[in-house]
Amino acid sequence: ATPVSIMVGTGRAAELGVLFRRGDALQALQGARVVAFDKTGTLTLGRPELTALDTAPGVAREEALRLAAAVEARSEHPIARAILRAAEAEGVAVPPAERFETVTGMGARAIVDGRDVIVGADRFLAAEGVDLGPVGAAGARIAEAGRTPLYLAADGVALAAIGVDDPIKPEAPAALAALRGLGLHTVLVTGDNAASARAVADRLGLDAVVAEVLPGGKVDAIRALRDAHGPVAFVGDGINDAPALAEADVGLAIGTGTDIAIEAAEVVLISGDPGAVVRALEISRATLRNIR
Ligand code: ADP
Ligand code: MG
């Protein structure tokens, strides 16, 4: 590629809200065979709402909400915000929490009212040796409906299944259809539950799903996709996406996401619109075509 054509291509991209931070990213994107997406905040709005709360027999809804909210009050995760908003909407007083910790890709934990309270994915409870008990079936129903199931436990006993729903971005279906039209293999790579990930992938017509992965697992997924199909573009927004953005042949960060993701990416999509991925690809192809 000549320096001038690269300048013209990156200039046109910038007008469309796509910042190429390096000239060679245009070339890398043009060669991509796979586009892999993070889910939360990338294909979905990243603003989950609490839509279900099923408690174990003898556990009051208010008690479950106040314990969950107490732990999540200290967390930055979008899921935590959803639980706090629900507690606020229902007028639940949130008690203080001590010894808060977050466990990446798993959930959060704190001491509330002297009890050891955890909130997170089923694998978090499994790792802690907590049986899902009577709330397991409610959690499974939440996942099958395409929502994210979480569990609340105190002192080793599961108290509730919590469902959060994070709507798909309105522009996502058209963007995915266009990428398939360009002949790309499209993949969802997420830390979320497998059933909820599958439901989102089916609605958007993605070719494959890799779910329930920790940040390192996203890197492994990128490598496996490259071995199977060729160069990989990865689109993400979160702290947990930074390693995958760096590993990909070209990393595209959602500009509304975290600074850490933006720093790890070669391309920044200024708006949250996943359609910008299509525009970036079209510009990369047009630029490189002009040169040949
Ligand atoms: P994603 O790839 O979807 O951005 P994360 O790695 O942030 O995923 O989280 C993966 C999963 O870990 C979530 O779907 C949730 O089950 C659990 N989790 C992480 N943080 C929290 C939290 N603060 N509260 C509850 N669950 C959490
Ligand atoms: Mg995300």
pLDDT digits (tens, 9 = 90+) for 148-191: 999 999 999 999 999 999 999 999 999 999 999 999 999 999 99
Share of the chain above pLDDT 90, in %: 83
| DSSP letter for each residue of the chain | --HHHHHHHHHHHHHTTEEESSTHHHHHHHT--EEEE-STTTTB-S--EEEEEEEPTT--HHHHHHHHHHHHTT--SHHHHHHHHHHHHTTPPPPP-EEEEEETTTEEEEEETTEEEEEE-HHHHHHTT---GGGHHHHHHHHHTTPEEEEEEETTEEEEEEEEE-PBPTTHHHHHHHHHHTT-EEEEE-SS-HHHHHHHHHHHT-SEEE-S--HHHHHHHHHHHHHHHS-EEEEE-SGGGHHHHHHSSEEEEETTS-HHHHHH-SEEESSS-THHHHHHHHHHHHHHHHH-
Minimal CA–CA distance to 234: which of 203, 271, 264? 264
Confidence band of 291 (pLDDT split at 50, 70, 90): low
238 lines ligand 1 (CB under 6 A): yes
* For residue 24, pLDDT beyond 70: yes
2 pLDDT tier (thresholds 50, 70, 90): confident
Strand order in the sheet with 157-165: 49-55, 157-165, 148-154, 115-120, 107-112, 98-103
Higher pLDDT, 9 or 120: 120
Among 108-112, 114-118, 254-258, 270-274, the range scoring the smallest mean pLDDT is 254-258
Q: What is the mean pLDDT of residues 28-34?
A: 96
Reply yes or no on whether the pLDDT at 284 is more than 70. yes
Q: What is the pLDDT of residue 144?
A: 86
Fold for the domain defined by 3-45+168-291 = Rossmann fold (3.40.50)
- Of the listed ligands, the closest to the CA of 105 is 1
- pLDDT score of 3: 82
Does 240 sit in the ligand 1 pocket, CB within 6 Å? Answer: yes
Q: Give the model confidence (pLDDT) of 250-261 as tens digits.
A: 999 999 888 999
- Strand pairing partners for 254? 269
Mean pLDDT estimate for the chain: 94
Tokens of 48: 């989950």
CB-CB neighbours of 222 under 10 Å: 26
Instruction: Compute the average pLDDT of residues 95-122.
Output: 96
191 lines ligand 1 (CB under 6 A): yes
Q: How far is the CA of 268 from the centre of ligand 1 (A)?
A: 24
Say how far residue 231 (Cα) sits from the centre of its chain. 22
What homologous superfamily is domain 49-165 in, according to CATH? Calcium-transporting ATPase, cytoplasmic domain N (3.40.1110.10)
User: Could you tell me the pTM of the whole model?
Assistant: 0.87
Taking CA atoms, 209 is separated from 38, 206, 246, in Å, by: 10, 8, 20
Give residue 45 CA to ligand 2 midpoint distance, Å. 9
Label residue 1 by pLDDT band (50, 70, 90): low
CA proximity to 18, closest of 291, 244, 233? 233
Q: Whose CA is nearest to atom 9 of ligand 1?
A: 105
Q: Of 4-13, 51-60, 207-216, 241-250, which gets the smallest average pLDDT? A: 4-13
Domain boundaries, the chain: 3-45+168-291, 49-165
Q: Matching CATH topology for 3-45+168-291 and 49-165? A: no
